[in-house]
């Protein structure tokens, strides 16, 4: 080692060992600096405060911090531009729905099971009578009577409302009896002109 030092002093060339030490030192310094930059970045993950930005605009921060701030500003600008581009072409209400919860899945399966039971019951019962499978039936008595008194036939009422033939005939019979009872009562009509 002393020999290499003497040869360098005597001007016989730059010793390789010292060159190696300089390279290792430069790499170590770069690594330490990089570690310091990463520590700064970890510390400053949250949004930069006004004081930091004032220091940035005045040029009073280290070059590493300047690079970090510029990178953060660039990434925020890219994110904002992408967000603006997305919302300019789609409505804020057009979003993909979240996957269903377990409760929603259980409720859906329960509804499907009930529908299958209703269809099976329809196939066994009402299908033989000619009604449509799983058709919603509107069997309001007043509605059926208004249709019948409006001139519709029993067959047409069954097609329109999906009620059974016996239900329609029972409603017609009931309302005809009410009409007969009203005719029998013959309420006296007061005459206001003679009083």
Residue range 59-69, pLDDT digits in tens: 778 888 888 87
Determine the average pLDDT of the residues in 173-177: 88
User: Picking from 39-48, 93-102, 115-124, which range would have the lowest pLDDT averaged per residue?
Assistant: 39-48
Does one domain contain both 177 and 150? yes
Is the predicted pLDDT of residue 129 greater than 50, yes or no? no
d(C-alpha 64, C-alpha 129), whole Å? 86
Does one domain contain both 62 and 39? no
Question: Residue 63: which domain range?
Answer: 48-90
In a domain, 118, yes or no: no
pLDDT digits (tens, 9 = 90+) for 130-140: 444 555 566 78
Cβ distance 137 to 122 under 8 Å?
no
In a domain, 128, yes or no: no
Tell me how many domains the chain contains: 3
Query: What pLDDT sits at residue 108?
Result: 82
Give pairs for 119-127: CB < 8 Å, separation 24+: 126/164
Is the predicted pLDDT of residue 119 greater than 70, yes or no? no
pLDDT digits (tens, 9 = 90+) for 75-84: 777 777 777 6
Within 13 A of 113's CA, how many CA atoms are on the CB side? 6
d(C-alpha 171, C-alpha 143), whole Å? 10
The residue out of 90, 115, 147 marking a domain boundary is 90
Nearest one of 166, 176, 175 to 137, comparing CA atoms: 166
Look up residue 140 and give its two tokens: 């309001």
Compute, in degrees rounded to 10, the torsion defined by CA atoms 159, 160, 161, 166. -40
Is the predicted pLDDT of residue 147 greater than 80, yes or no? yes
In a domain, 148, yes or no: yes
| % residues pLDDT > 90 (the chain) | 1
- pTM of the complete model: 0.27
In a domain, 156, yes or no: yes
């Amino acid at each position: 080692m002393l020999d290499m030092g003497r040869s360098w002093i005597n001007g016989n060339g730059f010793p390789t060992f010292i060159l190696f030490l300089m390279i290792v030192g430069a790499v170590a310094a770069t690594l330490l600096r990089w570690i310091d930059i990463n520590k700064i970045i970890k510390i400053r993950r949250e949004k930069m405060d006004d004081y930091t930005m004032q220091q940035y605009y005045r040029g009073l921060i280290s070059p590493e911090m300047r690079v970090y701030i510029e990178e953060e500003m660039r990434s925020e600008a890219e994110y904002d531009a992408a967000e603006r581009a997305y919302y300019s072409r789609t409505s804020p209400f057009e979003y993909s729905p979240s996957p269903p919860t377990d409760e929603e899945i259980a409720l859906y399966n329960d509804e499907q099971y009930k529908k299958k039971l209703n269809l099976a019951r329809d196939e066994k019962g009402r299908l033989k009578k000619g009604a449509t499978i799983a058709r919603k039936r509107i069997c309001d008595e007043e509605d059926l009577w208004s249709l019948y008194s409006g001139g519709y036939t029993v067959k047409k009422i069954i097609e329109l409302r999906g009620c059974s033939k016996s239900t329609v005939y029972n409603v017609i019979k009931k309302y005809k009896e009410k009409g007969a009872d009203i005719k029998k009562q013959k309420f006296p009509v007061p005459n206001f002109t003679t009083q």
